[in-house]
Chains A and B, each alone.
Chain A
Amino acid sequence: MADNDEATEVATDDAEQAETTDDVERAYGVPVTESRGQRVLHPSADELVATVDALKADGFDQLLDVIGVDYLTHGPRTLPATVSAERFEVVYLLVSHAKHERIRLRVQVPADGAVVPTLFDHFPGSETPEREVFDMFGIDFEGHPDMCRILMPEDWDGHPLRKDYGMGRIPVQFKGAPTRR
């Protein structure tokens, strides 16, 4: 229980800081926060490429993953004051092997016009994770060399990991063999 209190305390502290000081803490030109020992950058979709350029120049040499999150039913969340929460979020995980440091990028993506620039030209390894995010959330990566579904069939409708995509069952594709009875 004590842990819970502490966690909420930290959260409120952060919120207060963001409200009282007009100037949001920045790194690589974008707002930065801390999450359990890892720095989190909050670039906008437009700032993303410049931020990644700066990170790459600073020794962050590997992009580990691209993750989509749909915040449809969990609107309020702790973000720097200058960043407005949108429905989708694309999370990039980068690591610097020289500095033994991880950094996370959280990009807010609105529901209408869910487009983010691709990072293929920086890290070709973003190709399949970006396809996965597209497949699961319908977020488009502008300039991606092969923007198509990866896990679901090519002709599938809808994006399964969106929160408004029902958990309901789909009709069974294989019918039982006809019986005489």
Chain B
Amino acid sequence: MTATEDLTPAAAVTSASAPLPEDAERVYRREDSAVLRMSEAEVAQLAIDAPAEALATNTDERTIMNMGPSHPSTHGVLRLVLELEGEVVKRSKPVVGYLHTGMEKTAEDLTYLQGSTNVTRMDYASPLFSELAFSLATEQLLDVEIPERATWIRMLMCELNRMSSHLLFMATNGMDLGAVSMMIYGWREREEVLRFFEMVTGLRMNHNYIRPGGVAADLPDGWRDEVLRLLEMIPPRLEEYDILMTGQPIWRERLQGVGVLNSTEALALGATGPILRSTGYAWDLRRDDPYLAYDQVDFDVIVGTYGDCFDRYAIRLNEIRESMRIVRQCLDKMPSGDFRVQDKKVTPPPRARIDESMEALIHHFKIFTEGFKVPEGEVYVAVESPRGELGCYIVSDGGPKPYRMHVRGPSFINLQTLPHLMYDGLLADGVAVISSVDPIMGEVDR
């Protein structure tokens, strides 16, 4: 329990040398901010310090409550320490780290070829994007250019992954808000996309498909029909979502005007992806810092207006449609050719060659045991994941393993917006807000 006095804004602000932007003053606050900057020990101490009679009689006081880490609507193992005033959320603090397994440390002990098996487990809802960022970074260090077909395969797979990730969001968002049938629908559609992934990569998740030098395997026979089947099946289902949710008064009531952020605040907090775009700020790396062949496809960047939960929902729903547009163009423009670079330094020999050539066998063995050496230097590459800017920073010391590998998980940074989004809202709306930030804890904790 704590007895925080009334809020006196501006008084406690420590100003930077430049004047603070007025519309984002609240995120710069050190004291009396929306963030509960208190350690676990300090919170425990409050309960000891509070006199018993005050607890019994004073009802105006704020209560500190713990939500998670095992809570159905905290998306995995996110824990929130909330300061409540009745049912209204005041300050809050996301507590993370429950899924921390030291993946960045592990990466220092894996070769570049093994590295993508590691990063793919970070954002498990959109694993191909982590693989892509890691592979692009490694390729920049190696200074190899991948074949055109590999680029387009990567784009096709990533856009399908964006669809599956957003469909998962549709499902969980619906569930969090009580539209339980939506959960079933979202998972059902996502499963169809994952079925295609299984056909191409052999796995539903954690594909290790995009690797430095290209992709692991060419698209299998019949891939085109499968993609066309998806493109035919999903649009009418999205129309159903519109009927079920978008236009529905209860849905709008729950989301509109809840968890509002403006673009100055979003920028200041480092937010990217749908959170930044929901504030009306059109920034999408696919368009603004094109990688792969995104400059050759036609698509729209979806932006919101109010920066509330409804905008974030609508952006993701429409991004599924835009992704389908890109996928359709990938089908039309898919070039023939190689699916990985024919650079003997990076690429293992084809399987058939190993049976007939001793050199190929040795080469294969060397690549998979020692790995390939990557020139010294450091590089940062970013891609637009469904959750925002997913970047990979690699420092190479010239050896076969990264000296340091860091992944900028968009969820990790986006979580900083959570206390500001939840401030002064109802606890029940907090569930909608957490859901609309769409954090993937595997990526947050790494």
A interface vs B, CB < 8 Å? 1, 3-4, 6-8, 11, 35-36, 38, 49, 53, 56-57, 61-65, 67, 69-70, 73-74, 77-78, 91, 93, 97, 100, 102, 104, 120-129, 132, 136, 145-146, 148-154, 160-161, 167
Whether A152 touches B30, Cβ cut-off 8 Å, given contacts A53-B17, A62-B267, A125-B270, is: no
B416 contacts A100, C-beta separation under 8 Å: no
Let me know if B35 is at the binding interface, CB within 8 A.
yes
Q: Which residues of A contact B378 (CB under 8 A)?
A: 35
How far is the CB of B133 from the nearest CB of chain A, in Å?
12
Besides the known contacts A53-B16, A153-B97, 7 further A-B residue pairs in the complex with CB atoms under 8 A apart: A4-B373, A64-B270, A67-B408, A121-B28, A125-B413, A154-B39, A161-B105
Whether A123 touches B96, Cβ cut-off 8 Å, given contacts A36-B140, A65-B413, is: no
Q: Which residues of A contact B281 (CB under 8 A)?
A: 97
How far is the CB of B69 from the nearest CB of chain A, in Å?
13
In whole angstroms, what is the CA distance A146 to B416 when docked? 13
A128 contacts B416, C-beta separation under 8 Å: yes
A125 contacts B377, C-beta separation under 8 Å: no
How far is the CB of B337 from the nearest CB of chain A, in Å?
20
Q: Which of B15, B35, B105, B376 contacts A11 (CB 8 A)?
A: B376
- For this complex, 14 residue pairs linking A to B, each with C-beta atoms less than 8 Å apart, are A64-B272, A93-B380, A100-B288, A102-B289, A121-B15, A123-B268, A125-B413, A125-B416, A128-B412, A129-B412, A145-B30, A149-B97, A151-B97, A160-B105
Q: Which residues of A contact B345 (CB under 8 A)?
A: 1
Scan residues 257-293 of chain B and give those whose CB is less than 8 A from a CB of chain A.
267-272, 281, 283, 288-289
Q: Which of A1, A38, A62, A91 contacts B270 (CB 8 A)?
A: A62
A57 contacts B18, C-beta separation under 8 Å: yes
B408 contacts A93, C-beta separation under 8 Å: yes
Whether A3 touches B143, Cβ cut-off 8 Å, given contacts A67-B393, A121-B28, is: yes
Q: Which residues of A contact B18 (CB under 8 A)?
A: 53, 56-57, 122
Whether A104 touches B380, Cβ cut-off 8 Å, given contacts A3-B142, A128-B415, is: yes
Q: Which residues of A contact B377 (CB under 8 A)?
A: 7, 11, 35-36, 78
In whole angstroms, what is the CA distance A148 to B105 when docked? 20
A97 contacts B288, C-beta separation under 8 Å: yes
In whole angstroms, what is the CA distance A148 to B39 when docked? 8
Most chain A CB atoms below 10 A, which of B14, B97, B289, B446: B97
Q: Which residues of B contact A93 (CB under 8 A)?
A: 380, 391, 393, 408
B94 closest partner in A (C-beta): A128
B445 contacts A127, C-beta separation under 8 Å: no
Interface size bracket, B side? 35 or more
Let me know if B325 is at the binding interface, CB within 8 A.
no
Let me know if B41 is at the binding interface, CB within 8 A.
yes
Q: Which of B142, B283, B380, B391 contacts A97 (CB 8 A)?
A: B283
B105 contacts A167, C-beta separation under 8 Å: yes
In whole angstroms, what is the CA distance A152 to B397 when docked? 27
Q: Which residues of A contact B35 (CB under 8 A)?
A: 127, 145-146
How far is the CB of B289 from the nearest CB of chain A, in Å?
6
In whole angstroms, what is the CA distance A104 to B403 when docked? 18
In whole angstroms, what is the CA distance A79 to B123 when docked? 34
Q: Which residues of B contact A126 (CB under 8 A)?
A: 270
B interface vs A, CB < 8 Å? 14-18, 27-28, 30, 35, 37, 39-41, 96-97, 100, 102, 104-105, 109, 140, 142-144, 267-272, 281, 283, 288-289, 345, 373, 375-380, 382, 389, 391, 393, 395, 397, 403-404, 406, 408, 412-413, 415-416, 445-446
Q: Which residues of B contact A91 (CB under 8 A)?
A: 393
Q: Which residues of A contact B380 (CB under 8 A)?
A: 38, 93, 102, 104
Q: Which residues of A contact B288 (CB under 8 A)?
A: 97, 100
A122 contacts B16, C-beta separation under 8 Å: yes
In whole angstroms, what is the CA distance A133 to B100 when docked? 14
Q: Which of A7, A56, A97, A149 contacts B375 (CB 8 A)?
A: A7
How far is the CB of A131 from the nearest CB of chain B, in Å?
10
Q: Which residues of A contact B415 (CB under 8 A)?
A: 128
In whole angstroms, what is the CA distance A121 to B15 when docked? 7
Q: Which residues of B contact A152 (CB under 8 A)?
A: 97, 100
B267 contacts A8, C-beta separation under 8 Å: no
In whole angstroms, what is the CA distance A127 to B408 when docked? 14
In whole angstroms, what is the CA distance A164 to B267 when docked? 36
Q: Which residues of B contact A53 (CB under 8 A)?
A: 16-18
Q: Which of B39, B100, B391 contacts A65 (CB 8 A)?
A: B391
Q: Which residues of B contact A150 (CB under 8 A)?
A: 96-97
In whole angstroms, what is the CA distance A132 to B131 when docked? 22
In whole angstroms, what is the CA distance A61 to B28 when docked? 15
Whether A124 touches B403, Cβ cut-off 8 Å, given contacts A63-B270, A93-B408, A161-B105, is: no
A123 contacts B39, C-beta separation under 8 Å: no
Q: Which residues of A contact B391 (CB under 8 A)?
A: 64-65, 93
Q: Which residues of B contact A128 (CB under 8 A)?
A: 412-413, 415-416
How far is the CB of A118 from the nearest CB of chain B, in Å?
10
In whole angstroms, what is the CA distance A129 to B144 when docked? 31
Whether A4 touches B408, Cβ cut-off 8 Å, given contacts A74-B397, A124-B28, A125-B270, is: no
B28 contacts A64, C-beta separation under 8 Å: no
A151 contacts B413, C-beta separation under 8 Å: no
How far is the CB of A97 from the nearest CB of chain B, in Å?
6
Q: Which 5 residue pairs spanning A and B have beta carbons closest together?
A: A125-B270, A121-B16, A146-B37, A7-B375, A151-B97
Whether A124 touches B375, Cβ cut-off 8 Å, given contacts A1-B345, A154-B41, A161-B104, is: no
